[in-house]
Structure 1
Amino acid sequence: MMAEDRMQALAQQLMNTKLDELGALERRVLSHIARDAHISRDLDEEFSEKLTWGQRLADQVALFGGSWTFISLFAVFLIVWAAVNSVLLGEKAAFDPYPYIFLNLMLSMLAAIQAPIIMMSQNRQSQKDRLDARHDYEVNLKAELDIMALHDKLDDMRTRHLTEMVRHQEEQIRLLRQLLGARGAGGAPTQA
């Protein structure tokens, strides 16, 4: 119950609201502050550890399919295909003569397979980006609340210091008045 009370006090002090009015993320950040715990972590590593074999394969296909290496190799493949079927084998011996119907079929099948794989990878990247954004929000909120707590501590220290200085000044003024009163009573001239 002590942690709940500390979180309630932190919510009131730092966010000017009640604990039960905060969202889950804000409560989590306050919990980290109350425990003096760190909130930073490597989300890339955590996310990668949870990926299945198929998801890793999809990411690799998307990575290769969107590279200049793939584009270059595919361009070379298309040029070789056209050269072999049009020039080297001639019209009669070609296994896929112009207009390359078999090549079009293979390209369509490749696109039909590659597109959903790339979409899966992009959806996963979007999910990872959302987790990154949420984590960034948590870290930023914790940093902001920590800074606010530091400001409060500094304000408290400054107030105590000023109070102490005023107390010392009042004591010095009191001593000076006593000294001046004693000098005035002893017959020594006082200056106004």
Structure 2
Amino acid sequence: MTPERDSNRERTPAGATAAPRPRTPRLDQPRPPRRRIVPEWDPEAFGRLSEKIARFLGTGRFIVWMTVVIIAWVVWNIAAPHHLRFDNYPFIFLTLMLSLQASYAAPLILLAQNRQDDRDRVNLEQDRKQNERSIADTEYLTREVAALRMGLGEVATRDWIRSELQDLVKELEERRRGDGHAGHALFPAERSERPPGRDADDR
């Protein structure tokens, strides 16, 4: 044995285990949630709330209520006793509240518009795909109808068969009229040429 191994054995006391390995995160277990300083919120719920607020801000009811509040504010701070007034002329606090309302209303309206634009974009994409499918189906049906027309052009129709049969009947009648006498003379001769007892054999 080398002197280095002997020195290592002397440093580790008897019965002591090896140095523990650094703890690594296990792959079969999820990571513990990290603490965040910024508060978390649901973007979908916040977006729905912003849309409701934006819709309310764009109604006549909001304008009426805001007008009533401003008139009551101004009348109270003018006609009320001096010790009960909370916003004397020139109504600085009212101006601050209206500015605060506008500063919050503008981003909410923009957020609602962005969500509406996203929905419109998705709807337009779906409409475009639907139109493409409709055009493809129409072209396929057009080709099928053209193929059926070409196939029907080669099929014998009822009128064509009727006309052909009429022509054939006329031709047979003309032949019968032209060869009528020869046919009457021919059939008895053929009967006389048959040997006797042939009919019995045929039976």
Q: Same fold, TM exceeding 0.5? A: yes
Which amino acid counterpart does residue 109 of structure 1 have in structure 2? Answer: L
Partner of residue 141 from structure 2, selected from 150, 153, 171: 150
SS at 1:126's partner residue?
helix
Query: Which residue number corresponds to residue 56 of structure 1?
Result: 48
Q: Write out aligned runs for 1:22-171 (5 A).
A: 52-90=44-82, 93-165=84-156, 169=160
C-alpha deviations, 1:116-148, integer Å up to 9, x for none? Answer: 111011111011111112212222332233233
Q: TM-score, normalised by structure 2?
A: 0.58
Amino-acid identity (%): 28
Max Rg structure? 2
SS of equivalent residue, structure 1 residue 187: helix
Computed over aligned residues only, the root mean square deviation of the Cα atoms, in angstroms, reads 2.8
Question: 2:81 & 2:116 partners in 1: Cα distance?
Answer: 45
Query: Gaps (5+ residues) in structure 2?
Result: 1-41, 180-203
Q: Is the partner of 1:79 in helix, strand or coil? A: helix
Partner of 1:35: none
- Partner residue of 1:187? 177
Q: Which runs of 5+ in 1 are unaligned?
A: 1-49
Cα separation, 2, equivalents of 1:73 and 1:182: 102
1:148-181 C-alpha deviation (Å, 9 max, x unpaired): 3333333333332332136972x55554454343
TM-score, normalising length: structure 1: 0.61
Structure with the higher fraction of residues in helix conformation: 1
Query: Which one scores higher on RCO, CA 8 angstroms, separation ≥ 6?
Result: 1
